[in-house]
Structures are given as C-alpha cells and as structure tokens.
Chains A and B, each alone.
Chain A
Amino acid sequence: MLNFDWLSGVSAETAKMIFFGLYIFIGALVLMLPNDYIYEGIKKEDRHWWNNLKVWSIAVLSILATVYYQF
C-alpha cells in the first residue's frame, strides 16, 4: 500500500500520459485566469502580449512537455 504496489500494473507509457495530462490540466487552469488578474500591477496602456504571464506559462509548460516526450 505505502509503496504504491497497487499501481505496478500501470505501464511507463500510461504513466507518461498521466504526466502529460497534468501539464494540460495546469495549462488549462492558467488559461482560465482573467487577463486583469494576470496583468495586475501593470498599467492598462503597458499591457502587451509579451508581458502576458499566460503566454510565459504556456511556453514553459510546452518546453516541459517536449522534454518528457523526448525521454
């Protein structure tokens, strides 16, 4: 039980899909955040796509998913 032996039947490929699912889930949650909240602290006229933290987060998650796809 404590060793998670009840999950020993799960293959490495399925486990990898669980990790991918986690990244997609986190990405979806980030995308759901309102833009006003993401930009909080920046004046309205200074808000651009390149300081949108959603874009940064999705980029980081995409690189992470690529690493897990490669290995």
Chain B
Amino acid sequence: MLAGIDYFIVIAYIVGMLLLGLYFKKFVSSSEDYFLGGRSLPFWAIGMSIVVSDIGALDFVGVSGQAYRYGISVGNFDWVGSVPAMLLAAFIFIPYFWRGGMYTIPEYLGRRYNKSVRTIASATWILFFALDLGVLFWASAVLLNVLMGWPIWISIMSTAGVVGLYTYFGGITAVIMTDVVQMVIMFIGGFALVFLSLDAVGGWENMVEKIGTMGPEYRSHFDIIQPVNTKSPFPWTGILFGLTFVMSNAYMIGNQSIVQRCLTAKNEWHAKASMVFGSALKMFIPILVLFPGLMAVVVHPDLLDGDQALPMMIKTILPPGLVGLMFAAFFAGLMSSVDSLLNSTATLFTKDIYEPFIKKDADDKHYLKVGQITTLVLLVLGVATAPISSDFPGIYVAIQTFMSYFQGPIFSILLLGIFWKRTTQWGGLSALVIGIGFAVFLNVFKADFFTIEDPFLYISWWSFVLGFIINVTVSLLTKKHSDDELEGLVFSSKIITKSKS
C-alpha cells in the first residue's frame, strides 16, 4: 500500500524525532530537569503535548469505528468530556499542585491524606502504565501491520529505539517538545484526510442528506444528545454524570501523565494557560478522528466491522505522499503515548516508591539516574511483554476497563481532599479501597444492573458516589487534621483573593 515517497516521509519522520529528542539531552542535569523540565516550559508546548498524549494510533481507528456505528455522539468525549474538566483543572487544581512544587498526584494525596493513600494510588498507576506499555506496543504494531503492511517487529523496535533514546536522555522536555511536532503531523495528516473525504462525499450537506435516507438505524447519527433508553454506550445521562462529572475530571486532574506536563510550566500563568489552550485544541480532535468515520458511512456503507472505516477511507481517498503522512501520524500517536507512559511511570516510581521506601536522602544525581534506569527497564519490559498480548485478544480493552475502576474513587478523594477541610486520612483511604472494590463488583455483575451495551460511564459515576459518601461518613467519625497539617493543601478563597505575587 505504501509508495516510495510514503516510505521516505515515514523514515524522515522517525529520524527527525530521534534527532529532535536527543537535542534536549543538554538541558538535563538534575532530577527536576528530568521529571519537570526544570519548570521552564511554555504553555503552548504543554497544551499541545497534553492533547497529543491523549490520542493514540488505536484511538484514530477506534473512534472512527464508533462514529461509523453510533454517529456524532462519540464526539462528546472530546467536547463536553474535556473542556469543563480542563477549566476546573486550570483554575483550581493545577495552581495548587504547581505552587506546592509537586512531582506527582500521589504526592499530593500523601500530603493531604497519608502515605498509604499515596502508595496505593501510585502503585495502581505504575501497574496500569506498565501493563499498558506492552499491550500498546503490540496492539499499535498489529494495527500498523494491517493498515500499511509494516512488519510488527519493525514497528515495535523502531518506536522503542527512538522513544527510548530520547526519553532516557532528554526526560520530559524531550517528551513534550517531540509531542509538539507529533501533534502538528497528526493534525496535517488528519485534516488532509477530512478535507479529501469531504470532497469525496460531495460536501457536508450532501453527506447529512445521504446518511439521513439510509434507514432508521442512521436516524440519530447527527444527534449529539442520545436518549436515556438508547442501546449505544452514550446516553446523555452517562455523558453528563459519568463522563462530564467524573471520568473527565479524574482524567484531567488525577492522571499523572497529563498533570505532570502542567507542572513543567515556567510560571503559574503558563501552567493554567496550558490547560485552557489544550482544551481549545481538544475541540478539533473529533473533526480528525470522528468525521472520517461518518463519511465512511456514505463511501463504504456495507462494512461489517466499523473499525474498518478509517483504513478503508485511507486506502480509497488518500494519494501517495499523504498516505505516508497519515502513517507518520499513526506513528506520532504511538510514540506520544509510549513516551508519556515511560516518563510518568519513571517519575511515579522514583518519587513515590524509591525515594520514600528504598533510599531516602540520596543526592539529586542519584534520583536522576534512578529515573533514567527505570525508563530503560520499563522499555525493555514493554518490548519483552508485547507478544504476550497476542495470546489475550481482549487484553487492551481489559486494561482500559481496569483503569475505569479507579477513576470514580480517585476523583472523589481528590475533590473532597481539596474542597473539604474535614476530610481525614481514614476517610480517603476507605473511599479509595471500597470505591475501587465497588467498581469491580459493578463491572463483574454489569449484566444484572445495567441495560446499555457497555456501562463504564455509569460504573464510574456510581463508584464516585459511593466513594464520596464513604469519605464523608468515615471522615466525620475520625479525628480531623489540624490547620497546620492542611496548610497549602485545601482550597481556600485566600488563594484567589490574595495571589502569591
């Protein structure tokens, strides 16, 4: 499927990424440089990095496939599912984390609650990221193999080699600055496909008209709000309660790989602005990943598997050269996901596990080396465990589901932790443990409790509600923290009315 010029574009992209990433090696001389970029980065780079890290090669195909099956309601995830949460993060949570000089979200939880909450939260993230790495390598390589005929091990080894080198040497600065280029490539490739597809279907109005006449199953394809009794996974109640109120907040406020980027900002304004700028860019993502799926309904109306929508559109619409660019965009999605996982896991391990439990009070160079070695070990583990995924076809979905268990309870303790002084360490710990247990229970018995196809939005909402109630109840029954212990950790109108400067 690839022509000579396509190969040239892809190889030039890979080599360019390697050189760019390695350039940032010279800026790393301390652990703060490695994990927080010396707190010197501008908002636009961080905002672009947040957006590109959030979308991988698999999302391109998966979201297009869902748009083919369910229509425009999938766009809720990047629209209402991101913007409100990113504004809340920008104006409330990020300033606290940035002013506190924190490296990780569990570090905040440790200061606000206790060491156990910090360790549980950190260990869960490390486990998720480590498992996700091998699976991500394999699933993306298989996708690239199916789409472009690129051998699986070449995809894995070239990604691991390039990303591993620049992440090892350049730390988060290399991760963020390569993400900037990756986002530009992703947007150029994605928009080229959208414009050419739009031309192929005879324009937007024509497409809407054609899909409208294709039968009753397509009647709600352009309704962003789906009724409560829809069979799709996106009823408006799930979007409002599960996605907008819980999952998106948990993701934008509680996800280490997202928040760590904001903590690299050169000052508080840049930290806030990175999230607001990221939210603006986020609104373009559905255009890139969702619209090709909608247009495929017209161009290829008889696909049995919706996930074939994007590959078929690339095959039939894009000319040589642009196919290579699209392939580079897929690679960009894979690389940005892998570098985020590597750097965030290394930060979590070094700061939340190694420093408090294995070697306290070592010099800074030692922690820098630990971060680099952890990056390398994770990379080797990811590559080594990648083929195991081929024996477990549902493992990618299973790992994403595992993460959804965590979202509701973690957001409940973050929310109460920052807004309610009375929350205690035992309230937080109980909410986290019981909330996760409840989410697992609901997921195991989902057929008995829920009527929609995949109730992950409802599960995250109800586990959040239970976590919230448990936290409030146990906190009221246990000894409250003193004001000194809570200094700088709980929201106070002082932070807004009396700025630091």
Q: Which residues of A contact B (CB under 8 A)?
A: 2-5, 7-8, 10, 12, 15-16, 18-19, 22-23, 26, 30, 33-34, 36-42, 51, 53, 56-57, 59-61, 63-64, 67-68, 71
B90 at the interface (CB under 8 A from A): yes
In the bound assembly, the distance between CA atoms of A33 and B87 in angstroms comes to 12
Contact A40 B276 (CB under 8 A): no
CB-contact partner of A2 in B225, B228, B236, B462, under 8 A: B462
Given the complex, which residues of B lie within 8 Å of A23, measured CB to CB?
A: 84
Q: Look across to chain B and name the residue whose beta carbon is closest to the beta carbon of A5.
A: B228
Evaluate whether A26 and B224 lie within 8 angstroms (CB atoms) in the complex, with A3-B451, A56-B273 already known.
no
Q: Look across to chain A and name the residue whose beta carbon is closest to the beta carbon of B95.
A: A40
B14 at the interface (CB under 8 A from A): no
> Main SS of the interface on chain B?
helix
Contact B241 A12 (CB under 8 A): no
Given the complex, which residues of A lie within 8 Å of B235, measured CB to CB?
A: 4
Given the complex, which residues of A lie within 8 Å of B226, measured CB to CB?
A: 12
Interface residues of B in 265-279 (CB under 8 A from A): 267-273, 276-277, 279
B312 at the interface (CB under 8 A from A): no
What is the CB-to-nearest-CB distance from B211 to chain A, in angstroms, rounded to a whole number?
13
B227 at the interface (CB under 8 A from A): yes
> Main SS of the interface on chain A?
helix
CB-contact partner of B222 in A8, A42, A59, A71, under 8 A: A71
Given the complex, which residues of B lie within 8 Å of A4, measured CB to CB?
A: 228, 235, 237-238, 241, 458
Contact B240 A18 (CB under 8 A): yes
Given the complex, which residues of A lie within 8 Å of B75, measured CB to CB?
A: 67, 71
Complex interface bits, B56-82 against A, C-beta within 8 A gives 1, otherwise 0: 000000000000000010010001100
Given the complex, which residues of B lie within 8 Å of A15, measured CB to CB?
A: 225, 236, 240
In the bound assembly, the distance between CA atoms of A22 and B273 in angstroms comes to 21
Q: Look across to chain B and name the residue whose beta carbon is closest to the beta carbon of A42.
A: B269
Q: Which 7 A-B pairs have the closest CB atoms?
A: A41-B269, A41-B267, A4-B237, A71-B224, A41-B268, A15-B236, A8-B228
In the bound assembly, the distance between CA atoms of A53 and B265 in angstroms comes to 15
In the bound assembly, the distance between CA atoms of A7 and B238 in angstroms comes to 11
In the bound assembly, the distance between CA atoms of A12 and B80 in angstroms comes to 16
CB-contact partner of B283 in A7, A38, A64, under 8 A: A64
Interface residues of B in 232-291 (CB under 8 A from A): 235-238, 240-241, 244, 267-273, 276-277, 279-280, 283
Given the complex, which residues of A lie within 8 Å of B449, measured CB to CB?
A: 2-3
Evaluate whether A2 and B283 lie within 8 angstroms (CB atoms) in the complex, with A41-B269, A53-B90 already known.
no
**A51-B273, A57-B87, A67-B79 given. 12 additional CB < 8 A pairs?**
A4-B237, A8-B228, A22-B244, A26-B87, A40-B268, A53-B90, A53-B273, A56-B276, A57-B90, A64-B79, A64-B80, A71-B224
CB-contact partner of B83 in A7, A34, A37, A64, under 8 A: A64
Contact B276 A3 (CB under 8 A): no
Given the complex, which residues of A lie within 8 Å of B451, measured CB to CB?
A: 3, 5
In the bound assembly, the distance between CA atoms of A5 and B280 in angstroms comes to 34
CB-contact partner of B277 in A56, A67, A68, under 8 A: A56
CB-contact partner of A56 in B229, B271, B280, under 8 A: B280
Given the complex, which residues of A lie within 8 Å of B458, measured CB to CB?
A: 2-4
Q: Look across to chain B and name the residue whose beta carbon is closest to the beta carbon of A3.
A: B451
Q: Look across to chain B and name the residue whose beta carbon is closest to the beta carbon of A64.
A: B83
Which of B105-113, B141-149, B493-501 interfaces with chain A? B493-501
Given the complex, which residues of A lie within 8 Å of B499, measured CB to CB?
A: 34, 36-37, 40
Contact A60 B280 (CB under 8 A): yes
CB-contact partner of B501 in A19, A22, A40, A68, under 8 A: A40
Contact A16 B225 (CB under 8 A): yes
Given the complex, which residues of B lie within 8 Å of A8, measured CB to CB?
A: 227-229
Given the complex, which residues of A lie within 8 Å of B224, measured CB to CB?
A: 67-68, 71
B223 at the interface (CB under 8 A from A): yes
Contact B222 A61 (CB under 8 A): no
Contact B84 A26 (CB under 8 A): yes
B27 at the interface (CB under 8 A from A): no
What is the CB-to-nearest-CB distance from A15 to chain B, in angstroms, rounded to a whole number?
4
In the bound assembly, the distance between CA atoms of A37 and B95 in angstroms comes to 10
In the bound assembly, the distance between CA atoms of A18 and B84 in angstroms comes to 14
Evaluate whether A53 and B244 lie within 8 angstroms (CB atoms) in the complex, with A4-B228, A71-B72 already known.
no
In the bound assembly, the distance between CA atoms of A49 and B267 in angstroms comes to 19
In the bound assembly, the distance between CA atoms of A16 and B272 in angstroms comes to 29
In the bound assembly, the distance between CA atoms of A53 and B237 in angstroms comes to 30
What is the CB-to-nearest-CB distance from B443 to chain A, in angstroms, rounded to a whole number?
12
In the bound assembly, the distance between CA atoms of A4 and B283 in angstroms comes to 28
Contact B79 A68 (CB under 8 A): yes
What is the CB-to-nearest-CB distance from B453 to chain A, in angstroms, rounded to a whole number?
12
